Amino acid sequence: MSVGERVARLGTPSRVAGFVLGLGALFGGALAVGSAVGPTDATATAAPHAAGGHGAASTTGHGSAGSEPGSPVSSALPGGLTVAQDGYALRLASATAVAGRAVPVSFTVTGPGGAAVTAFDVQHEKRLHLIAVRRDQSGFQHVHPTLAADGTWTTALDLTPGTWRLFADFKASGGQALTLGSDLSVSGAFTPVSAAPVSRTAAVDGYTVTLTGDLVAGRDARLGLTVTKDGRPVTDLDPYLGAYGHLVALRDGDLAYLHVHPDGEPGDGRTTAGPEVVFHTTVPSAGGYRLHLDFQHHGVVRTASFVVTASEAAGAANAPAPEPATAPTSEPMQTGDSDGHGH
């Protein structure tokens, strides 16, 4: 998979995220690997986003449909594709906005009955995580809005012209964890960013982050993200919302929002503070995905973004596959992952 890989600083639009995400964090944080990784987590697959908060998401459940007999997830969709689900809805105060930096954006989450929800459970240290990305996969941002007593959430985003997808990842008290998505149209001359080539190395503020591991449709994937600075491994990453990094995956074409689960957490006695941060995810289909890693070092949160392509699972079409169809990568594999689930 190293063919075509190269160091590639993502284009300007993606780095709009440079708007400092003081609280920009990602998910999966506090999940212990044993409960976080989806493919064998029947509870999670039956109730997307349920136990384990951000983790346990529909992504993993969906992806595991073929390998988990009896799993009730075959019809589950990834998160973020709908504006309303299970009686809850994401209501933007305005469907339009003007381009600019720190543009105020507000919204509510309405619950069964239609009233704005005012009680949310904390997941990964926040009651709601908002991810914004332009529909051409540029401009990724992850912020934590503030909640007013009447249920109105308010934040600020750096918005360029175009159509943006806003994802609210939350768990209303008494409800299931959900990720709802809604579009925000931002006025101004719009030049779409064309599809980016595969990029497994990201450079940001003197840091270089390298991605190892391959995504295969319907299979648990171990993703390793190795952080270096000035050529030296970073081994003192800050714990950040209960993890050493937070990763979001967005599918090309529909921006399906995929939860990714960290393998281990700070203080568990086995998880190191870098240079490698390990995640697990299962993508539901082959094709392109963007991965966005938020990591914190010396008190500053930065985002490293990657472009990857998930392959079809060997044998997915009933073709016997006695030998791996693809050459193993040079990445040292953890023996703990030999069962394909990593836990």
Question: What are the residues binding Cu ion (CB under 5 A)?
Answer: 25, 129
- CB-based contacts of 264-270 (< 8 A; 24+ apart in sequence): 264/32, 264/33, 265/29, 265/30, 265/31, 265/32, 265/239, 266/239, 266/242, 267/239, 268/32
Work out how close the CB of 142 gets to Cu ion at its nearest, in angstroms, rounded to a whole number.
Answer: 5
Residue 136 makes CB contacts below 8 A (sequence gap 6+) with 13, 162, 192, 193, 194
- Half-sphere exposure in the Cβ direction for 134 (13 Å, CA): 25
Using an 8 Å Cβ cutoff, are 105 and 184 in contact? yes
C-alpha distances in angstroms, 162 versus 114, 135, 146, 191, 306? 29, 8, 25, 8, 21
Residue closer to Cu ion by CB (options 79, 342) is 79
Closest to Cu ion by CB, 246 vs 251, is 246
Q: Shortest Cβ distance from residue 122 to Cu ion (Å)?
A: 11
Nearer to Cu ion, 144 or 222 (CB): 144
Quote the DSSP letter at residue 243: B
- Minimum CB distance to Cu ion, residue 126 (Å): 5
Q: The tokens of 32 are what? A: 């212990």
DSSP 155: E
CB of 260 to Cu ion, least distance (A): 13
Q: Which is nearer to Cu ion, 168 or 310 (CB)?
A: 168
Shortest spacing between CB 290 and Cu ion, in angstroms: 17
Q: Tokens 């073709």 belong to which residue? A: 319
- Nearer residue to Cu ion within complex by CB, 30 or 310: 30
Residue (5 or 125) nearer to Cu ion, CB = 125
Q: Shortest gap between Cβ of 171 and Cu ion (angstroms)?
A: 13
CA 120/CA 97 separation, integer angstroms: 26
